[in-house]
Structure 1
Amino acid sequence: MGAQIHSYLMSEDASGQANFYMESLGGEIQFLTTFGETPGTPDAMKDKVMHLAFTVAGTNTLMISDSFEPVSYNRNISISLNYDDVSEASTAYAKLSEGGESKYPFALQPWGAYYGEVVDKFGVTWMITKQ
C-alpha cells in the first residue's frame, strides 16, 4: 500500500494565500468548499474556506482552510520545491519573496545545487532547489 503526503495549511486568509501561491508558482483550484455550504453556518462564517485543494508548480497539491484561531507558522516545517530548471526556480523564489523575507539567497551552493530559502508574506517557509 502506498500513500502520498500533502501539505495542509491553516490560514487567516485561505483564498488570498492560495491565490498568491497559484500566481507565484502557477496552478489552479481543484476543489473548494466554503462553510456556507454547511447548513446552519452563521452568516459571518459563510464565505470562509472549509477546504480548498489546489495545484502549484505543476501537479503538486496543496490544501488550505480558514482558521478561526490566530495562525502562526514557524521553521519547524518547510515546504520544499525542487526544480529541473534554474530559471523556473529563481522565478519561484523571487515571486514567493514578494512581501516576505529572504532567509537564504537563491544561489549556486558548494554542494553543486542552486538553493534558496524564503519566508513568504504569510509566514510559510519555502526551500527552493535546482539540483
Structure 2
Amino acid sequence: MTVQFKPYLYFQTECREAMTHYQAVFGGELEVTTFGDFGMVGEGDPGRVLHASLTVSEGLVLQAGDVTAGSTARTGGSIQISGSDEAQLRGWFDALTRDGEVHMPLQQAAWGGLFGQGADRFGITWLVNVAPDGN
C-alpha cells in the first residue's frame, strides 16, 4: 500500500494565481478544476477554483482550492521543504518570499545545515531546511 501526504491550501479567491505562481517556482504539472466545471453556480464566480493539484518531479504534490461559502476551512497554512540541494532550495526560498515577507533569512541553523522562513504574497508560510542528509 502506498500512502502520501498532500498539503492542501485554501485561498479566498486567489487559488489559481497562487498555484500558477507555485508552478513557476517548482515546475511540474498543474491541473485546475473550477466550480463552474461542475455547474456549482451557487458558489459565486464560476471561475473560482474548486480544486487544483500541482505535481512536481521532486515528489511534491501540492493541492489547493478557494474556500466555499459556509466553509469552516481557514485560508493560509505553512509548508516545510527539506532537502540537501542548497542551490535549488535557496532558489525556491528566494522565489517564494519575493513580494512576500522574510521572517528569517536562510542561514546557519543550530542543528546544522541552513534554515529560513518566510511568507509568500498569498500569506502562505514556507519553512526551508537545507541539510546534508536531506532531512
Shared fold (TM-score greater than 0.5)? yes
Structure 1 runs (4+) deviating above 6 angstroms are none
How many residues get paired?
127
Q: Note the alpha carbon deviations across 1:58-92, whole angstroms, 9 max, x for none.
A: 2200111112469643xxx5201112211111111
Query: Unpaired runs of 5+ in structure 1?
Result: none
Gaps of 5+ in 2: none
Please give the TM-score of this superposition, normalised by the length of structure 1.
0.83
More strand by share: 1
CA, structure 1 residues 117+43, in 2 after alignment: closer, same or farther (shift >3 Å)? closer
The aligned counterpart of 1:22 is: 23
> Does 2:8 match 1:8?
yes
Listed as ranges, the matches of 1:95-110 within 5 Å are 95-110=95-110
Q: Which amino acid aligns with 2:85?
A: D
Contact 1:53 1:62 in 2 (8 A): yes
Amino acid at match of 1:45: D
TM-score, normalization: structure 2?
Answer: 0.81
Which residue does 2:81 correspond to in 1?
81
> Is 1:26–1:58's contact at 8 Å kept on the other side of the alignment?
no
What is the DSSP-based 3-state SS (H/G/I as helix, E as strand, rest coil) of the residue aligned with 1:63?
A: strand
Instruction: Give the fraction of aligned pairs with identical amino acids, expressed as a percent.
Output: 26
| In structure 2, distance between residues paired with 1:65 and 1:22 | 15
